[in-house]
Amino acid sequence: MSDKSCVLALDVGTSSVRAILYDREARPVPGAAVHVHHQPRTGADGTSEMDADELVDLMSLSVVQLMDRAGGERASSIAGVGVSTFWHGLVATDDSARALSPVYLWSDTRSWKSAENLKDRFDPEAVRQRTGCPIHSSYWPAKLAWLRSERADLWSRPVRWMSFGDLLFWRMFGRLGTSVSMASGTGLFGLADCGWDQELLSVLELSPASLPPIAQVEQTLTPSYQRLLPNLAGIPWLHALGDGALANLGSGCMTPDRRALTVGTSGALRAIDSAPPTHIPPGLWCYRLDGGRVVIGGALSNGGNLRNWLVNTLRVQETKLEDALSSMVPGAHGLTVLPHLAGERSLGYAPHAFGAIAGITSATTAEDMARAGLEAVAIEFARVDRRLDDVIPGATTLVASGAALLSSPAWMQMMADAIGRPVAAGQAEEASSRGAAVLAMESLGMAGPPKLDPGTSRVFEPRADFAAMYKGIEARQEILYRALIGDRILGT
């Protein structure tokens, strides 16, 4: 392997930390990958959080293990490090980078009442158009308003508010800063001017000094990290970027004709453009990949987590489930499902949304309910896809990523049938991680899109004879939604 011929991608997610080496073609280097799993703390009250110090330690552990696994020659060939982290997380620290709170994740819904109260203090639609983010428990404004009452101690002393990626880089490099990508996922950031939104800061009584500056941090590891990671001390580290945008990059979805469909624990459907739209359609969001590219799309709180719940709760045998799903005709089970077990984001953003299964009879089987639940998720993605047509038309193919979806050809076919577009299995096994590697190569002048498009494998074509069946399921799903939850806040 020639000198400086690969990059390291660090991917910090809500269920695992991955450290992977990629060669100049953005292919994983054989035997040079480490996955360290972890689980957020969750509770029936909506709690979803992680310990910041434990997560920093897991990152360090994964990189140290990767360096050991890679060996001296490969470790010395690393040209730079790209970093992907989860979007929307919020942690409070003091001025010495000591965490004063857990990392509150996007899935923490305890601030939903604060989100509703905030909507009475300004025009929420105007805020969504400026920031790209609705007022919702997933984002910082609601969490900060909630923490003002729940954690009054955090407001009686100097506090810094930041994402986990910002805290990680502060500790590693000794200087605080954030990328436009991470800032754009907070709900406090102006998409057009790339700065903190002054109206929201005023309403929240939040000083700009308590937020990280939007700038690349100094790329010199602190002495302690130089000792821990000597092979990585003198090379460029790119500041953390949002995992969703990097998944588009890693999947090769960088043009309007290709959309990235990701289903892991949750799910998202995203498209990349060069600038924010003049009007963001109802139910969608818009964040930045970097200063010259934005990602527009919708996210579901329920994806692989719903599938796991169905399998575990209904005690469906995994080995038999795929065959059962493939043999069923859409809607033949007679069931209607609301798949919002973990609440709802796009399109309705209902703070009190919940799951439901209607139409059960004595003939209903566990496989029927599993199929109906997965169909319901596919229909939610179809809604998002149609809304994307309003702002970025011309899509011909959806490129799928995420283990929950790629592991199930039957679910892939459901997605194609419900959405009405071909769904291709992306060949990038870890799309966000690979995106971080591609961006690092792009920044270092090694290579970049479209040269590093990973391509696709099997393509699932929509079956026209099933289109009407899915329309019928969607109509019943909407009736049940209106009956149990209410009108969709941002339209159907």
Going residue by residue through the chain, which has 492 residues, state the pLDDT in tens, using 9 for 90 and above. 446 789 999 999 988 999 999 999 999 999 999 999 999 999 989 999 999 999 999 999 999 999 999 988 888 999 999 999 999 999 999 999 999 999 999 999 999 999 999 999 999 999 999 999 999 999 999 999 999 999 999 999 999 999 999 999 999 999 999 999 999 999 999 999 999 999 999 999 999 999 999 987 667 899 999 999 999 998 999 999 999 999 999 999 988 889 999 998 899 999 999 999 999 999 999 999 999 999 999 999 999 999 999 999 999 988 889 998 999 999 999 999 999 998 899 999 998 899 999 999 999 999 999 999 999 999 999 999 999 999 999 999 999 998 889 999 999 999 999 999 999 999 888 899 999 999 999 999 887 666 678 888 999 999 999 999 999 999 999 999 999 998 875 433
What is the reported pLDDT for 451?
A: 67
| Per-residue pLDDT at 428 | 87
pLDDT digits (tens, 9 = 90+) for 318-375: 888 999 899 999 999 999 999 999 889 999 999 889 999 999 999 999 999 999 999 9
CATH classification number, 253-427+462-492, choose in 3.30.420.40, 2.40.50.140, 3.40.50.720, 3.30.1360.120: 3.30.420.40
Give the pair of three-digit tokens for residue 479. Answer: 């009736």
**The CATH classification of domain 6-243, taken from the options 3.30.565.10, 2.40.10.120, 3.30.420.40, 3.30.70.360:** 3.30.420.40
Cis peptide before 347 (omega within 30 of 0): yes
Name the CA radius of gyration of the chain, rounded: 22
Preceding omega of 450 cis (within 30 degrees of 0)? yes
Rounded CA separation 490/42 (Å)? 28
Assessment of whether the complete model's pTM goes beyond 0.85? yes
Given this model, what pLDDT does residue 448 score? 62
Confidence (pLDDT) at 3: 67
For residue 337, which of 488, 473, 148, 191 has the smallest C-alpha distance? Answer: 473
Which residues does residue 356 pair with via DSSP β-bridges, in sequence order? Answer: 338
The pLDDT value recorded for residue 1 is 40
For the chain, the structural domain boundaries read 6-243, 253-427+462-492
Q: Which two tokens stand for residue 95?
A: 């001025």
Residue 459 is encoded by which pair of tokens?
A: 């393509």
Give the span between the Cα atoms of 62 and 15, in whole angstroms. 14
